[in-house]
Amino acid sequence: MIIDHEHIDLTCGPTYYRVYFPFMDFDVDKSKFHSNRTFLKSQRAYSYYLEKNEMVFIPIDSKTSRLNVDSNKIYTVKDIDGIIRLANRRLHKLVTLYLKFNFTPKQLAIMEVSSNEINTYKSV
C-alpha cells in the first residue's frame, strides 16, 4: 500500500500536501496521458478530471534554479528530456526536501489497467 512508503508533508501558503515516494519500475508512455485527457474531454467529463493540460516528468534528483535573482517564487528545472521548464515554489520545496532526506524508495508493484478507454496503473 502507498501509505507504507516514505513521504514528505509540505505546506505552501494555506495548502497542505502529503507526497509519497514509492519506486515504480515501468516505462511511462507520455502519449497515454494525452489520449486519456482527449477521451475525457470528448465525454464532457467533470473539469477536475481535466485539471492538468500538460504532464511533465521531472527526475526527483533534479536541482531547481531561480528564474532570476529577484524571484523566490518561480524556478526552473530540467525535465527527463533535458528541456528547461518553469517550476513553482511548491515543486522547488518538494525537490529540496527530497534531496535533504535522501530517501531510498521501496518498490511498489503496479500493473497497467485499461477501462472504458482510459489507461492507468494500479498497485498489485
Average pLDDT (32-53) is 70
Domain count, the chain: 1
pLDDT tens digit sequence for 76-102: 999 888 999 988 888 888 888 888 888
27 has a pLDDT exceeding 70: no
Predicted local confidence at residue 50, as pLDDT: 62
74 has a pLDDT exceeding 80: yes
d(CA 29, CA 31): 5
d(CA 104, CA 8): 13
Predicted local confidence at residue 54, as pLDDT: 61
**Residue 119's domain spans which residues?**
2-123
48 has a pLDDT exceeding 70: no
